[in-house]
Amino acid sequence: MATIRLGDTAPDFTAQTTQGTLQFHEWLGASWGVLFSHPADFTPVCTTELGTVANYHPEFTKRNAKVIALSVDGIDSHHEWIKDINETQNTTVDFPIIADESKEIALLYDMMHPNASEKATVRSVFVIGPDKKVKLTLTYPASTGRNFDELLRVIDSLQLTANYAVATPANWKDGENVVITPAVPDDEIATRFPKGYDRVKPYLRMTPQPNK
């Protein structure tokens, strides 16, 4: 079981899901991907999380991002649980949930942390780019529900910074000013960032978001 680090190729796998059998890399295609695990079906925090993802699905789609969940429970359990999620969260779960009863995928992605639980996966999140490289990893304890607004914010940042020589500052939100990376010399700023910039310090140069 290897630790997955940023920049690693996300391990490929074939899995049984609530939407049929899929091969992960093939399913991702040219899209971004969000793979997230939950400790077990029919658990309260996970129910709110999957309901939130279902309600946010249009936001992920707008960003060309596919979402897929995983737990070590089986397909029949997943389908029964989806009924509860749809009912209690006033939504329709329309993304696949992986059945990983063998824990093969959970181990492949280092989602099993024995000091937390020997039987259940932790709340892992992997954001994966169209190049199949891991762009973000997050691990939450079982007692803390995830912030999916933050995941959308991170995807916005990743997609922006993949195409422009900028980085996003603390608490940045889409549409706000960004940082020009140190790799861009001062004499190129006017050409590359025609909206202008604010030189706060030689190493801290702010500019309006270039794709807005």
CA gap 176, 153 in Å, rounded: 12
Pairing mode of beta strands 97-99, 65-71? parallel
Amino acid symbol at 52: T
d(CA 26, CA 22): 8
DSSP secondary structure letters along 154-173: HHHHHHHHTTSSEE--TT--
Cα 204 from Cα 169, distance rounded (Å): 10
- Structure-block tokens of residue 13: 């796998």
User: Helices 44-62 & 148-161, crossing angle to 10 degrees?
Assistant: 30
Q: Is 43 helix (H, G, I), strand (E, B) or coil?
A: coil
Task: Exactly one of 4, 46, 54, 127 is catalytic; name it.
Answer: 46
Give yes or no: 48 in active site. Answer: no
Cα gap 122→116, rounded to integer Å: 8
Catalytic residue positions?
46
